[in-house]
Structure 1
Amino acid sequence: MAGTDRQLTLRFLAEPADVNFGGKVHGGAVMKWIDLAGYACAAGWSGKYCITAYAGGIRFVKPIHVGNIVEVTAKVIYTGRTSMHLGIDVRAGDPKVQDRDLTTHCVLIMVAVDDAGLPSPVPEWIPTSEIDIELRESAVRLMDMRKKIGAEMEAHVTLGV
């Protein structure tokens, strides 16, 4: 049911096909996993097909090794009229032990769309805990920063750089 589950975790093993030339899982594979978890979370929250509008602040904190169990957690931290901001944490570690280390973190913005591909309203998420209120406020601050960065980046697009 839309508007009830705001968090989702995907779990799987990192495979040899995910490795880069340095022997660690490559960033592109991690970004794919982030997008998959973000879609599943946003679709679950909105009850609609969703598209990725933005991925930002991606921090690769620690490498992931082949054979690690990987947990990609997506959580709604802000809702607009048709968009959802998701905090994404990727954790990984030896599957034989309980510990999982943070390997990657970022924010995704997903937009719900209708059958014609047009933005579609999503249920509002209202934070209740202190932590959730801070997450929402952080998402709002990040929106303001993205607007400034977007204006600055416009020069690059305009100048063809």
Structure 2
Amino acid sequence: MKIPQRDITLRFLAEPQDVNFGGKVHGGAVMKWIDLAAYACAAGWSGRYCVTAYAGGIRFIAPIHVGSLVEVEAKVIYTGNSSIHIALEVNACDPKSLDRKLTTHCIVIMVAVGPDGKSEKVPQWIPETPDDQRQHDTAIKLMEMRKKIGKEMQIFVD
């Protein structure tokens, strides 16, 4: 049996079309890269087509400059029946120095779906190290927090 791929790193150079009016990489471009890495990670874990169900806790820490080497690291931190919770970090640096700096981090939840668009079961991820267990436990705490936030957000959608 093939072992699912738990993590993935996308690497590329930030291009001029990614720039905002302030001369730095646009936050929307970073969010697109995050979504792409989350998809690749979730598909590698589940062996299925996956869709984004949630993206949250995004924190933009430092700007990314055009020409920077960008690394988007994604790893599974929790699985439900059909959901895959993924922690993501974006690091960037001048490709000549390779002195990477954290620029962005967040959590994305992907859901595996079949050809009919209905959710499908995914392989369970089981923490193996103390660090894995901390991330797994944090993912569970974040789920509870999202439920509370979802209830509070109802005022904006009713």
**Structure-1-length-normalised TM-score:** 0.96
Aligned to 1:124: 124
Structure 1 segments of 4+ aligned residues over 2 angstroms from their partners: 1-4
After superposition, the CA RMSD in angstroms is 1.0
Residue 142 of structure 1 aligns with which residue? 142
Aligned to 2:77: 77
Q: Identity rate of aligned residues, in percent?
A: 65
Secondary structure of residue in 1 paired with 2:74: strand
Note the C-alpha offset of 1:2: 6.1
Residues 78, 85 of structure 2: 8 Å contact kept: yes
Q: What secondary structure is seen at the aligned counterpart in 2 of 1:57?
A: strand
Code of the residue aligned with 1:35 in structure 2: it is D
Query: Does the CA contact (< 8 Å) of 2:4 and 2:46 recur in 1?
Result: no
The whole-number CA distance in structure 1 between the counterparts of 2:102 and 2:33 is 14
> 2:14 aligns to what?
14
Separation (CA, whole Å) in 2 of partners of 1:148 and 1:2: 38
Which string of whole-angstrom CA distances, capped at 9 and with x for unpartnered residues, describes residues 75-128 of structure 1? 000000000000000000000122210000000000000010100000000001
Return the alpha-carbon distance in structure 2 between the equivalents of residues 103 and 21 of structure 1. 18
Which runs of 5 or more residues in structure 1 are unaligned? none
Secondary structure in 2 matching 1:124:
coil
Match of 2:4 in 1: 4
2:14 partner amino acid: A
- In structure 2, the residue matched to 1:106 is 106
**How many angstroms does 1:156 deviate by?**
1.6
Count of matched residue pairs = 158
Could you tell me how far apart the structure 2 residues matched to 1:98 and 1:151 are?
A: 44
Compared CA separation, residues 63 and 105, structure 1 to 2 (3 A) = same
Q: Secondary structure at the match of 1:138?
A: helix
Tell me, in whole angstroms, the C-alpha distance in 2 between the residues paired with 1:151 and 1:110: 21
Asked whether the equivalents of residues 2 and 45 of structure 1 are also in contact (C-alpha less than 8 Å), the reply is: no
Q: In 1, distance between residues paired with 2:106 and 2:62? A: 14
Q: Which residue does the alignment assign to 1:41?
A: 41
Q: Is the 8 A contact 1:2 1:46 kept in 2?
A: no
Q: How many angstroms apart in 1 are the aligned matches of 2:2 and 2:100? A: 30
Q: Residues 104-158 of structure 1, C-alpha deviation per residue, up to 9 Å, x if partnerless?
A: 0000000000010100000000001000000000000000000000001112211
Contact 1:3 1:46 (C-alpha < 8 Å) held by counterparts: no
